[in-house]
Structure 1
C-alpha cells in the first residue's frame, strides 16, 4: 500500500531523473509501433499517474510511481498489449490510492479506460479487505475479471510485479500473497496463454511458500549450469547442421525447466534432484508463411526424430488441434546424448508469439474472425455463466473447481456430426452432455461412446465419438455431482437441485434478520459466516433454510448470540498478537535444534492449547504455523504441509504464527519410508539402527518385498527434527538401502 513521506529536493531531482529513465525504458520496445495518438494517450496517463502518486512510497521506500511504470512495462513487453492497456496500467492504482475519482478519469480518458480501471480498483479494494477466497465477495472479484479480458491481463501484470518485489513485505504477508498467487493468479495466467508469466509466478510462489525446497533446487541448478549449457550447445549444434542442410530459416533456443516444474516432478515421482533427467527443453522457431506452417513443422519433426529416438508417450500435437487458448506447437521428447531426455518444441514465429504473448497475440492474428467468435470470448462467457449460476453451498469447492477448469489438461471428443469439443482431462460423458447444452445435460440418461453404451460416469478419452441419449422425464440427481467435474455441469446440476431450496431459504433469510434484530445482533456477512461455523453448516443457504424449516430455532440463535462475543474476541486477539506493527530485525543467536520440542504462539509467544495436524504431522524443528479451527482450537501445520497453500489463500485471517522453543516434555511420531534391494539380515540391521539410540522409540515396522526390491515404513517417536534427521542418515548408510525419506501417508 502507498504511504506518504517527506523527501529532500536533491532526492526528488534524482528520483525524477530515474522516473523519466524508467518511462523511456517502458516504451523502448513498443514505441516504433505506436501511433502519435497512442503516444499522446500514454504520456497523458503517465503525467496524471506521476502527479497523483507524487507523495507516495512503496514498502521498499521507492517512489510509488515505479510500480505502475513496471506494471505498464510488463503489459507492453511481456504481454504485448496496446496503448489503451498501457495507459490503464499506468493509472491502475489512481482511483484506489489518490484523490482522483472514476468520473475524473472518464472525463479525461473516456469510458473504455475508466471501465478497465474500475474493474482493477474493485479487485484492489476487495484484496485490502482481506477477502478470503471462500467468501462470496471473491466471486464478485472474478466476475469483475471477466468483464473485460484486459482487466485480467493487467491484474496478472500487477501481481507479477508485486511477486517480484515481495521481499519487502512481512513474512506472514509474503505467505498469504504467494499462496493466493499459486491458488488463482498462476492458473489465470495459464488460461490466458501466458506460459512464461505462469512459470515465473509459480517459481516466485514456491520461493515464499517452500523456501527450503526452492533454494535447494536453485543451488543445484547453479552448480550444474556450466555442464548443462555445454550439453545444450552440443545438442543444438547437431540440430543446426541438419536444419541448415534443408535451407530452413530458424532459431533454436535452449533452456532449463522451471524450478517449480522440477520440484513438482521430484514430489510426484518421489525422487531427488539428481534423478530428474528431463531438465532440458529446446525450442525450434522457424520462419514460414501461414500456408506452409504445418508442413514445415512436421518436416522438422521428422528431421529431429531421424537424429534422436523419440519417446512415443511424450508426443504432443497442438498444431493439428490447438489448445483452447490458441496455443500451437509440436512437442516431442527424445533421447539425447548420455541417455538424457530432452523435450523439443517445434513452432513457427507466429505460433511462438502466440505462445509467448497468449491472448494478446491471439487477437493480433485472428485476421477476419470476429471477436465474438474467438475462443477467448467463448471462455469469458463460460466464466461469467459459471460464476453467476454457481451455488455457494461449498465456496471452497467452487474455487477448487474454478482453478481446476483453469489449469487442467484438455481432451478432444467428437459429436456424431463430427463437431469437436474440448473438455478437461477426466471429464465424464455427463460433462460432455452439459458442454453441448444445458437442456441436454439436464435430461441425459446415458451415452454411446464409439458405438457402445456407457453410463454417465464414464470418463472420456481424446478421440472418442460421443452420442448423448436423453429423455424428457429425466432430471438431475444428487449422485451426478460425484462424477461431474466441469464447473458448468456442476453449477447447472446444483442450480436444478437447489431451486426449491432457494425459495424456502429466501423466506428463512427474512425470518433470520428479524430474529437477530430482536437479539440485538447485526445481520452481516461476518454474522452469517459465524452462524454457518457455529451450527457446522456448509453454506449461508443452509443457514437460511434451517431457520425457515425450524431446524435452527429461537433457543439455538440465543445460544449463538451468548457465545458470539467470545468467538469474535478469539479471532481479534489472535490477529493483534500475530500481526502487530513489525519491529526491526535483530540478529538471533544460534539455537540448539536438538532441544526444540515445545510450541509458543503469536509475537508474544503465548503457550496455548493445540493439536498436531494429522495431514503433515509436524515435529520440533519443522517450520510451522497455527490454524484456528472453529471447534477444535489451534491445529499446528508444517509450512510446507500439502494443505498449507489452501489454508493461507482461503483463511489467512485465521493463521497464527507458531514457534518451537526449548523444552523436553513431549515426543512426536514420525513416519519414515524406505526402499532398497532386499538381502538377508536387512530387517535386523534396520531395527538395530533404531534400537541402539535409547531416546528413540519404534512403534511399528512394516516391510514388503517383490522381485528382490523391498518397500518399508517405520513409525518412531522423536524429540525433534534433528534427532529424526540423524537416524535417517544412519538408515541411509545401511547396505542395500537406496532411499530414506520422511512421509505423511500410512
Structure 2
C-alpha cells in the first residue's frame, strides 16, 4: 500500500481537526517516548489500511479512529489500548487479518482490535439478531480484557458526535440503542464523563425539540441563579476555612438529560428541578470528608432521610462520595457531594483509572474487582441464554440497577437491583444456591420467596438438594442472572421431557412395523437426521415431543427401507392404541384452558409446534377442523392418572350475607384447592361465582358439585366448557 499523505491530513478551513501530531503531544503528559512511538506506528498502519475510505461526513476515515484514541487519552488509558483504538476498524473495513495484526503489533493489541470488531462472516435472520450477536461477542471478549468495551464506548461517543449526517430515523435508532446499552455500561463501569456526554447527545438526537426547549430554559434560568450560587459558594468556602479544612468548592450543574428524566419520572415541573442548587466539595483525605459533612450540616439544616454514605458502602461501580440535601437560604434545597481527590478521579474515569494508577491506588483496584465480578456474571448469563437476543435482554436488565444493599448472615454486603427479591439474592450468592432454594429468613424472620428486599436487611437462604427452580419464579425475579439461570434450567428440563415424550410417540407409530427407535440401525437413522438438519437421535425425539415433527411421518421415513419391500407398500394400521396420559408429563404436555379436561373425560390432543401436545375434551368447540389434519393425536387417560387438574365451575347464588364464604368452605371441605374466584352481580337478587379449582378427577368434581347443590343459597351450578 502507498504511504499515508504525510503524518497529518489537511484541515478543513471551517472545522479544525484533531491530528496525529496533536495526539502525540497530548500523550506526552503521561506516556513515555517509546510508547508514543508505538502509537504513531499504529497510526501509519491504520492510515495505510484505510486509505481512500471516507466517512459519511466526507472526511478521510482515519479522522474517526484518531478521535476515538483522543477520547481514551482523555481518561488516561495505556498505550496499547490507544494503539488498538487507532486500528479498531481495520479488521472490519479492510483486508487486514488478525494474524497480520498480531505479527505486526503483538497478541495483546490484536486481541483488543478483534474484540471490538463485529461478526461479519455469519448470516443472521434479522439485523437485530446480528447486532445482538456482535454485542454478545464484544461483551464476552470484554470478560478477558475490559479495555475492549472502553474502546467501543469511545467509538460510539465519536459516532454520536457526528450523527447529524444520518437520516433522522437512523439517528433515533442509534440514539435509542446508545441510551439502552452503551450509556448504562459507562455508568456501570463508573465512567461519568463518557456516560453524561453520551446521554446528552442521545437526548438531542432522540427528542430534538424537547432538548432545544430545555436547553433554552436552562440558559435563561442560569442568569437568574448566578447571584444565589455565588452567595452559597462564598458561605461554604468561608465556613470550611473557618474550621481549617482545605478543600475546593465547585458549583455543579445538572446536565440536560438528568433534568429531563427527573421531570419525567417524578412528574416535576422545570422550576422544581432547576431550583435545586448543587455543589461538590473536594478535600484531601477520607476523614476530612466527614469533618466537612459536619461543617455543612452546621451551616445549613439537613433534610431528614436524604443523607447517603457511599464512602462506607460504595456503589457497585466503585463510586464513593457523601451525599446530603440541605435547607439553604430562603428554604432553597442544596445538594452537596463531598469526596476526596482520588474519589473524584474515580467518579469521572471509573474503571479506566485502573490502568494508569493500578500500582499505587487501592481504590482503583477495588473498582476493578467490582467490574470483574460484574463480568463474571456476564459469563454466567451467556451460558444460560438460549441465543444472543435473550442474552442482550438479560444484560439490559442488569444495566439499570437502582442499587439495594443487603447483608449475608456473615456480614458481607451484596449489591442487588432495586426491587430484587429473596430469589435474586440467592442467585447473587451462587447459581447452585439459587437453584436449590426452598425458604429464606430476612432479619431472622421467615418470609415468602417473592419478598422484595430493602437496604440494610440481613438475608439467610435455606436450601435443599432435592429442590429445583420453579417457572413461577420468573414472575417476580428482576436480575438478569436469576432470570437466565431459571430459564436455563427450565429449557433443559423441557428438552428432557420433550425427548421422553418424543420417544413414546415415535415408538407408538413404529410399533405398527414391529420396530422401535432402538432397533433402527444407525445407517438408516443418519440420512434422516441429515435431511432434518439434526445432529442426534435425541434432537429428533425432542423435535417430535415439541410438536415440530409429526411422529407418523418420521416413522414412515425411518421405515422406507428398514422393512421388506412387500411391507413398504402397506399403509400403516389404523386404530392402534392411543397414547396414555398420566397428568404429570410436565411442560410438553399441557391441558387446554378452553375446556380444562379432567381424568374421566373423553380426550383428544393436537400438536402445537414448539410447545408439545395440548389435550382437549372431545366435545371442545375449539378443535375445529383439526381432526382432518396430521396434527391430530388419539390419547387416553392412564388407569390411575396422578396430579391436580384445573377446572372451572360457575355457581349461581342468592344475594345473602356469607354466600361466597359458605360455597368456598364447602369446596375446601371436599379437598379441592381454590385457585381463583370472581364474583359477578347479575340482577341485584342473584350473583354468579366463577371458581377455578384444582381437583384430581371428574368424579372428584362431581362430588364437589353434589355437595354444593345441598347448600340453600345455591340456585344453580355447572361446569364451564
User: Deviations for 1:540-593, whole angstroms, at most 9, x for unmatched residues?
Assistant: xxx999842263456999xxxxxxxxxxxxxxxxxxxxxxxxxxxxxxxxxxxx
Q: Name the TM-score, length of structure 2 as normaliser.
A: 0.66
- Residue in 2 that maps onto 1:146: 143
Which secondary structure state, in structure 2, belongs to the residue aligned with residue 265 of structure 1?
A: helix
From the superposition, tell whether residues 261 and 141 of structure 1 become closer, same or farther in structure 2 (CA, over 3 Å).
same
Give matches, 1:64-463, under 5 Å: 64-77=61-74, 79-122=75-118, 130-132=127-129, 138-288=135-285, 293=286, 295-362=287-354, 364-365=357-358, 367=360, 374-392=369-387, 398-463=391-456
Contact 1:256-1:279 within 8 A present in 2 as well? no
Separation in 1, partners of 2:270, 2:366: 45
- Residue in 2 that maps onto 1:35: 32
Is 1:468 the counterpart of 2:461? The answer is: yes
Q: Identify unmatched segments of 5+ residues in structure 1.
A: 1-6, 525-542, 558-746
Give matches, 1:571-650, under 5 Å: none
User: Deviations for 1:425-459, whole angstroms, at most 9, x for unmatched residues?
Assistant: 21111111122222221221111111111111111
Separation in 2, partners of 1:136, 1:505: 28
User: Deviations for 1:616-644, whole angstroms, at most 9, x for unmatched residues?
Assistant: xxxxxxxxxxxxxxxxxxxxxxxxxxxxx
Give matches, 1:669-680, under 5 Å: none
Separation in 1, partners of 2:243, 2:122: 57
- Structure 1 residue 517: deviation in Å? 9.2
Give matches, 1:723-738, under 5 Å: none
From the superposition, tell whether residues 334 and 552 of structure 1 become closer, same or farther in structure 2 (CA, over 3 Å).
same
Contact 2:139-2:149 within 8 A present in 1 as well? no
Separation in 2, partners of 1:547, 1:274: 61
User: Deviations for 1:193-250, whole angstroms, at most 9, x for unmatched residues?
Assistant: 0123212212211212222211111111122222233332222111111112233332
From the superposition, tell whether residues 429 and 300 of structure 1 become closer, same or farther in structure 2 (CA, over 3 Å).
same
Separation in 1, partners of 2:235, 2:46: 52
Q: Identify unmatched segments of 5+ residues in structure 2.
A: 503-523, 554-721
Separation in 1, partners of 2:10, 2:121: 32
Contact 2:302-2:327 within 8 A present in 1 as well? yes
Contact 1:505-1:544 within 8 A present in 2 as well? no
Which secondary structure state, in structure 1, belongs to the residue aligned with residue 451 of structure 2?
A: coil
Separation in 2, partners of 1:165, 1:20: 13
From the superposition, tell whether residues 340 and 120 of structure 1 become closer, same or farther in structure 2 (CA, over 3 Å).
same
- Structure 1 residue 19: deviation in Å? 9.3
Contact 2:115-2:137 within 8 A present in 1 as well? no
From the superposition, tell whether residues 445 and 403 of structure 1 become closer, same or farther in structure 2 (CA, over 3 Å).
same
From the superposition, tell whether residues 262 and 397 of structure 1 become closer, same or farther in structure 2 (CA, over 3 Å).
farther
User: Deviations for 1:294-349, whole angstroms, at most 9, x for unmatched residues?
Assistant: x1111111111111222233222110011122111111122223433222111100
Separation in 1, partners of 2:80, 2:132: 32
Contact 2:133-2:389 within 8 A present in 1 as well? no
- Structure 1 residue 29: deviation in Å? 4.2
**Aligned-residue CA RMSD in angstroms?**
3.7
From the superposition, tell whether residues 66 and 550 of structure 1 become closer, same or farther in structure 2 (CA, over 3 Å).
closer
Which secondary structure state, in structure 2, belongs to the residue aligned with residue 33 of structure 1?
A: coil
Contact 2:191-2:352 within 8 A present in 1 as well? no
Which secondary structure state, in structure 2, belongs to the residue aligned with residue 57 of structure 1?
A: coil
From the superposition, tell whether residues 467 and 346 of structure 1 become closer, same or farther in structure 2 (CA, over 3 Å).
same
Which secondary structure state, in structure 1, belongs to the residue aligned with residue 51 of structure 2?
A: coil
Contact 1:131-1:137 within 8 A present in 2 as well? no
1:497 to 490, 503, 507: 490
> Greater RCO between the two (CA within 8 Å, min separation 6)?
1
- Structure 1 residue 397: deviation in Å? 6.3
Separation in 2, partners of 1:257, 1:87: 34
Which secondary structure state, in structure 1, belongs to the residue aligned with residue 339 of structure 2?
A: strand
Aligned residues: 521
Contact 2:404-2:455 within 8 A present in 1 as well? yes
Separation in 2, partners of 1:237, 1:51: 56
Separation in 2, partners of 1:304, 1:123: 54
- Structure 1 residue 518: deviation in Å? 7.2
Contact 1:22-1:69 within 8 A present in 2 as well? yes
- Residue in 2 that maps onto 1:54: 51
Work out which of the two has the higher radius of gyration on C-alpha atoms and give 1 or 2: 2
- Residue in 1 that maps onto 2:42: 45
